[in-house]
C-alpha cells in the first residue's frame, strides 16, 4: 500500500518515493493484450492544505503489451510526469483515514488505468501481419491484396 501518515504531515510536506508491486495495484485486467506485471514507480510530494491533501509528482509504469495488429510483444511506458491528486479530508467526498493514514493506492490505480492504451499497437502505423501470414487472396480480395502491396512499398 501507498500510505500517507497525516500526523507526519502536520509539520511539513512529505516525500514518498518507491515502488508499488503489481499485485497491490491489482488492475483487474481482462485484456490479454495488456499485462501490468512490473512494479509502478512513484515519486510524490504530499502537502496538507486546508481540509485536504494535495499529492503531486510522477508515476511510471511499464506495460507488457501485445500488438493488436501484428501480435508482436512490446513494452509500453506510461509516464505521468505532473500527476496531481486532491483528496478532501472533510465533507461528503472525504477520503477514508485508517490509523491516521490515507491509502493513495486506489487513486494511483484509477489515474494510471486511464493511460492504458485501448488498443495497443507496437507502432502507430503498424502494418499488421506479414504478407506470408495474410489470408490467401482470391479474385474477390483485390482490394486486400492491393493494401498489402501498398504496405510493402512503405517498408522499402
Which residues contribute to the site for Zn ion (CB under 5 A)? 67, 69-70, 72, 122, 126
Instruction: Say if residues 144 and 131 touch (Cβ distance below 8 Å).
Output: no
- CB-wise, 39 or 127, nearer to Zn ion? 127
* Spatial CA neighbour of 16 closest among 57, 52, 48, 51: 57
CB of 74 to Zn ion, least distance (A): 8
Taking the complex as a whole, the smallest distance from the CB of residue 126 to Zn ion amounts, in Å, to 3
Residue 112 backbone phi and psi in degrees, to 5: -75, -30
Report the residue number, 62 or 151, with the smaller CB distance to Zn ion. Answer: 151
Choose between 70 and 134: whose C-beta lies nearer to Zn ion: 70
Q: C-beta of 27: minimal distance to Zn ion in Å?
A: 22
**DSSP code of residue 129:** S
**What is the distance, to the nearest Å, from the Cα of residue 144 to the centroid of all Cα atoms in its chain?**
34
Amino acid at each position: 500500500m501507498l500510505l500517507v501518515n497525516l500526523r507526519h504531515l502536520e509539520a511539513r510536506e512529505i516525500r514518498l518515493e518507491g515502488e508499488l508491486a503489481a499485485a497491490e495495484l491489482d488492475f483487474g485486467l481482462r485484456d490479454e493484450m495488456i499485462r501490468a506485471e512490473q512494479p509502478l514507480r512513484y515519486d510524490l510530494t504530499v502537502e496538507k492544505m486546508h481540509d485536504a491533501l494535495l499529492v503531486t509528482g510522477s508515476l511510471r509504469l511499464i506495460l507488457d503489451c501485445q500488438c493488436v495488429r501484428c501480435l508482436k510483444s512490446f513494452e509500453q511506458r506510461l509516464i505521468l510526469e505532473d500527476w496531481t491528486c486532491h483528496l478532501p479530508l472533510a465533507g461528503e467526498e472525504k477520503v477514508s483515514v485508517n490509523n491516521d493514514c490515507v491509502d493513495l493506492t486506489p487513486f494511483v490505480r484509477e489515474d494510471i488505468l486511464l493511460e492504458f492504451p485501448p488498443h495497443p499497437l507496437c507502432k502507430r502505423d503498424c502494418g499488421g501481419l506479414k504478407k506470408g501470414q495474410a489470408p490467401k487472396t482470391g479474385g474477390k480480395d483485390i482490394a486486400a491484396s492491393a493494401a498489402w502491396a501498398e504496405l510493402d512499398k512503405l517498408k522499402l
